[in-house]
Amino acid sequence: MNSVERYTATPKLMPLAGGIGVLGLLATAAGYFVDPRVTGHSYLLAFAYWAGISIASLIMVAIFHTAKATWMTVLRRVMETMAVSIPLFAVLFLGLIPALKHIYPWFPGSELVNSLSEMEREHLGHKQHGYLNPTFFAVRQVIYFGVWIFVSHRLHSLSTRQDEDGQLARTASLRKWSPGSLPFLALTITFASFDWMMSLTPLWFSTIFGVYYFTGSFLAVFCLLTIVSVNAQGHNLYGNLVKPSHFHNLGKLMLGFTAFWAYIAFSQFFLIWIANLPEEAPWYHTRIATGWRGLSISLFFLHFLLPFAILLSRNLKLQPRKLAVVAVYLLVIHAVDLYWLIWPALSPEHPSFHWTLVTAFLGVGGVSIAFALFRIRGRYTLPVKDPYIAESLRYVQP
């Protein structure tokens, strides 16, 4: 691996992403003073989208180490870098705090509590107050980000230190820490999804909502990894070393998580529909018996049937640039899916649009991309002294 150099950063990409991000966040902050409720929902959507990718990247790194998968070693550093960007999202989460009372009915002083019936307010005040209160909410966020930051830093530092000393003990440590961290990562992202999105409608609950959220985020990780790998061409980048067999595996993972998303989405809908409980049914009633019905039906075709049919093609998965086009499409659909999860809490009658949706998405996305480029600057874009890197570079699809 002597021919691989440290990443010196694409001259214009990091400042461009950072500049777009800062401008987007400033515009979103201005929108908060105009309409805090709409802006709060826009910022939550953008935060859930980009933070979900970062957290899912961390979980996938831990899963690959646990499974002792060697084919993805050449791709691992990109996921590690996405994961080690989590401290930025801890900072960005602070931007959501002023909007809490404008988007969550359970938050003290929220004007949204007036939209609830007397029975719903009593239920919220007596049965759920122990969990949905500002103090415990804040404690949970500290726990979530504390776990994510600790694990991401630990896995990233072990990997990058091996670039310098080449010690095999680093690999052993990675394979020891990863399986032990997975239960904590799974629980924290599940409860985070409850706090961030499910509590927008506090009387509604789904035990598999967390799985729904991180399944979509896993799919987004492999889409983004595909796009980055296709475009990571250069003398100090890893893209030239990625083979069609690696892209074929990424395509299979995209196909698998497309199907798994559909399975979880249908399971959640079917269980709630057949039970027909008054606490659960209204959430889906809003999405299938109002102006949201068209988008709900469209997600079935656009998020499942269309990409599933396309990704069945083996030839497409062996053509990186065509696969990257599908990846871009799925990243857009993932954003639409989160819009479908979040926006009905703001506009239950029908879908609507607000300009802060764009500014918040570009703001959070821009600064997170710039931060990731900053974290990998001066480092190798692949684990050059990993004992399995040569095997990964020789990988051939069986």
pLDDT at 392 over 70: yes
- Residue 126 structure tokens: 């007596």
pLDDT at position 227: 97
pLDDT at 164 over 70: yes
Conformational region of residue 68, where left means phi above 0, alpha means psi within -120 to 50, and beta covers everything else: left
Is 257 domain-assigned?
yes
Is 398 domain-assigned?
no
Number of compact structural domains in the chain: 1
pLDDT at position 119: 64
Q: How far apart are CA 155 and CA 70, in angstroms?
A: 16
Confidence of residue 123 (pLDDT cuts 50, 70, 90): low
Percent of the chain past pLDDT 90, that is, above it, reads 82
pLDDT at position 397: 81
The three-state DSSP-derived secondary structure of 82-117 is HHCCHHHHHHHHHHHHHHHHHHCCCCCCCHHHHHCC
Is 147 domain-assigned?
yes
Is 385 domain-assigned?
yes
Q: Which of 208-212, 301-305, 348-352, 393-397 has the lowest mean pLDDT?
A: 393-397
Is 8 domain-assigned?
no
Q: How far apart are CA 122 and CA 210, in angstroms?
A: 26
pLDDT at position 23: 98
pLDDT at position 197: 97
Torsion of CA 319, 320, 323, 325, to 10 degrees: -120
> Over the stretch 181-230, which tens digit does the pLDDT of each residue have?
999 999 999 999 999 999 999 888 899 999 999 999 999 999 999 999 99
Is 294 domain-assigned?
yes
pLDDT at position 364: 98
Which domain covers residue 86, as residue numbers? 13-393
pLDDT at position 236: 75
Cβ neighbours for 173, distance < 8 A, ≥ 6 positions apart: 158
Confidence of residue 8 (pLDDT cuts 50, 70, 90): confident
Is 304 domain-assigned?
yes
Is 5 domain-assigned?
no
